[in-house]
Amino acid sequence: MAARKGSDFAGLSVAIVTPFADGEVDYVRLREQLEFQIAAGTRCIVPVGTTGESPTLSHQEHDRVITEVIQCVAGRAKVMAGTGSNSTAEALRLTRRAADEGADATLQVAPYYNKPTQEGFYQHFRAVAEEVDIPVCVYNIPGRTCKEIEVGTIQRLAELPGITMVKEATGKLDQCSAIVGTTDLTVLSGDDSLTLPMMSVGAEGVVSVVGNLVPNVMIELVNAAAAGDFLTARQVHHRLFALCSNMLGLATNPIPVKAAMQMLGRDTGELRLPMTALEAPLADQLRETLFAFGLQETATT
């Protein structure tokens, strides 16, 4: 069977947080987090996506974070830069620059707020794919964008050489099955807790939030599923399930993951408004989940 477009991005990609200290991007801690991921064997780093609080970064910060990631990683992992926008012109500018800096691919979120038609989605992604030479991963997350990219639109996009991947975050296994069954795109799970079900029908990996905490365990899951060892994959899935659920269920991402990283001494936990810190009762629940997972040795109160 021929490899799918984008299959070189199979496995674990981690949507990293953007560390802040006293209101500014903390580039020292960013580099520490990148080294943590590389040491774990993470295949791809995804900066300034949803988890990276891209809506609150200035254009200058957005560009610099991508540059810092590319320079620090230095070819030791792939970099899929979050350069989407609800303005096609802005998405093009961000993507051109990321490509010029050496990004290996671009994560392109569905245009949000202005709610384009399906034809608008198609023309938007087509414009980006035809303008740059790096692979495009279409990011379908209607919970954030208020409108879904329909399977028919993704099928049309799959005919464009530059569109190679879909980050599928609709929460619909049928959507994943339809894309895998009718296109040659590589599908990546956009929800940690659905990674195993999606890989069981042909997805090839995940763009992960929980990978900020335990990339080695997520690698174990995706490797087992890719090898067809679903007994091991199920065991890892169930071990991870509560932690994955907390990351997206306690509060809006990245509030829980930043709180967890603070508890583990790996981040300040600082967020930018309008994002606010995890409320105390929920923080207690998160701490209990971390302890149950086995991370209590480094957690702090």
The number of beta carbons lying within 10 Å of the beta carbon of residue 281 is 9
In sequence order, the 6+-apart residues with CB closer than 8 A to the CB of 247 are 192, 209, 210, 253, 256, 257, 260
CA distances from 92 to 5, 46, 66, 127, 159 (A): 22, 18, 15, 8, 20
Query: Structure tokens of 259?
Result: 């709180």
Helix (H, G, I), strand (E, B) or coil at 141: coil
- Cross-strand bridge partners of residue 81: 106
Q: Domain containing 30: what range? A: 7-215
Q: How far apart are CA 156 and CA 134, in angstroms?
A: 19
**Is 208 a domain residue?**
yes
User: Which member of 5, 78, 167, 258 is catalytic?
Assistant: 167
Query: Structure tokens of 8?
Result: 């070189």
Q: How far apart are CA 280 and CA 91, in angstroms?
A: 37
Active-site residue 115, yes or no?
A: no
CATH code, domain with 197: 3.20.20.70
pLDDT at 122: 98
**Is 261 a domain residue?**
no
User: Which member of 5, 78, 139, 147 is catalytic?
Assistant: 139
In sequence order, the 6+-apart residues with CB closer than 8 A to the CB of 284 are none
Active-site residue 167, yes or no?
A: yes
Q: How many CA atoms lie within 13 A of 220 on its CB side?
A: 14
**Is 291 a domain residue?**
no
Strands (E), the chain: 11-15, 20-21, 24-25, 44-46, 78-82, 105-109, 136-140, 163-168, 186-189, 205-208
Taking every pair of Cα atoms in the chain, the longest distance, rounded to a whole number of angstroms, is: 52
**Is 27 a domain residue?**
yes
**16 with 8: CB under 8 angstroms?**
no
Q: How far apart are CA 240 and CA 246, in angstroms?
A: 10
For the residues of 142-167, what is the DSSP string, one character each? Answer: HHHHSS---HHHHHHHHTSTTEEEEE
Count of domains observed in the chain: 1
**Is 229 a domain residue?**
no
**Is 237 a domain residue?**
no
**Is 296 a domain residue?**
no
In sequence order, the 6+-apart residues with CB closer than 8 A to the CB of 208 are 12, 13, 14, 15, 192, 195, 215, 218
pLDDT tens track of the chain, all 301 residues? 578 898 999 999 999 999 999 999 999 999 999 999 999 999 999 999 999 999 999 999 999 999 999 999 999 999 999 999 999 999 999 999 999 999 999 999 999 999 999 999 999 999 999 999 999 999 999 999 989 999 999 999 999 999 999 999 999 999 999 999 999 999 999 999 999 999 999 999 999 999 999 999 999 999 999 999 999 999 999 999 999 999 999 999 999 999 999 999 999 999 999 999 999 999 999 999 999 999 964 544 4
**Is 239 a domain residue?**
no
